[in-house]
Amino acid sequence: MITLQAGSERGHAQHGWLDSHHTFSFGEFYDAGKMGYGALRVINEDRVVAGAGFPPHSHRDMEIISYVIEGGLRHRDSTGGTSVILPGELQLMTAGSGIQHSEMNASPGEAVHFLQIWIVPSERGAAPGYQQKALDADALRRGFTMVVAPKSENAPFSVLQDARLLIAWPGEGQALTQTLDPQRRYYLHLAAGEVSVGGRRLKAGDALTFSGESTLSLIAGEDAQVLLFDLPG
């Protein structure tokens, strides 16, 4: 079964410095039917104006992924970690037993546009830390590429959950096919561009859920960035 989750139906928060769309219940947006999708708890699409951001705040027992679409996001945390996350990179932070961090727009003149994604871990009280590196752009342009997986699978990023994140950057007119496990469920989020899946035309912010399916086939209507989450059934 494939179900459309329209981006226009997401929660929306506008705070002047922050324009945020919430796929699932978050902050002041609450919908009892949108509390997450399995272990996937949060997908927030945020735009932060120049010179602004999220001041130091705390998290625990959550796997937090930051994916920048445009601009730069400056990260600082209580482990001593500091970096700027740019388009083409990904950061995965394990909050574990507790971590404090801030996320600020790294540019004095341009907005930053990014996704913040939370995955509920299967292990509580883990040592906090973060991973950050550039993605393999050539591989992502060829098709879906495993970026995040459990540590035993040796993906570029390891997560404390039986969950995986595959990313693809198809070009206009490019067709992709990905094998799915019918015993698991999947969440496809379109971060940028336009694609068609089974006659459904998706634009940035739209999503599809998959359950009991064995194949995903899509065609990019324009250059796109597609995130596919592989989750326990």
pLDDT in the model for residue 222 = 97
Q: Residues of the chain with pLDDT > 70: what percent? A: 100
Q: Over 90: is that where the pLDDT of 216 sits?
A: yes
d(CA 141, CA 99): 34
* Residue labelled with tokens 């506008």: 14
Could you tell me where the beta strands, DSSP code E, fall in the chain? 2-5, 11-14, 18-22, 40-48, 53-59, 63-70, 73-77, 82-85, 89-94, 99-105, 112-119, 129-134, 145-149, 157-158, 164-168, 175-179, 185-197, 200-203, 207-211, 215-231
Residue 139 phi, psi (nearest 5): -65, -40
pLDDT in the model for residue 121 = 97
What rounded mean pLDDT belongs to the chain?
Answer: 95
Model confidence at 36, pLDDT cuts 50, 70, 90, reads very high
Identify which of 136, 127, 183, 189 has the alpha carbon closest to the alpha carbon of residue 160: 127
pLDDT in the model for residue 47 = 98
Domains of the chain: 10-135 (2.60.120.10), 138-231 (2.60.120.10)
pLDDT in the model for residue 82 = 84
- Residue 171, sorted as left (phi over 0), alpha (psi -120 to 50) or beta, turns out to be beta
Tens-digit pLDDT profile for residues 135-188: 999 999 999 999 999 999 989 999 999 999 999 999 999 999 999 999 999 999
> How confident is the model over 6-19, as a mean pLDDT?
96
Contacts within 8 Å (CB) and 24+ apart, 134-141: 134/88, 134/89, 135/88, 135/89, 135/90, 135/167, 137/88, 137/169, 140/167, 140/168, 140/169, 141/169, 141/170, 141/171
Cβ-based burial of 109 (10 A; exposed 0-12, middle 13-18, buried ≥19): exposed
> How confident is the model over 208-212, as a mean pLDDT?
97
Helix (H, G, I), strand (E, B) or coil at 137: helix
pLDDT in the model for residue 233 = 83
pLDDT in the model for residue 204 = 98
d(CA 85, CA 69): 10
pLDDT in the model for residue 104 = 93
pLDDT in the model for residue 193 = 98
Tens-digit pLDDT profile for residues 42-95: 999 999 999 998 888 899 999 999 999 999 999 988 887 789 999 999 999 999
pLDDT in the model for residue 55 = 86
Identify which of 91, 19, 27 has the alpha carbon closest to the alpha carbon of residue 57: 27
Q: Residues of the chain with pLDDT > 90: what percent? A: 90
Of how many residues is the chain composed? 233
pLDDT in the model for residue 150 = 97
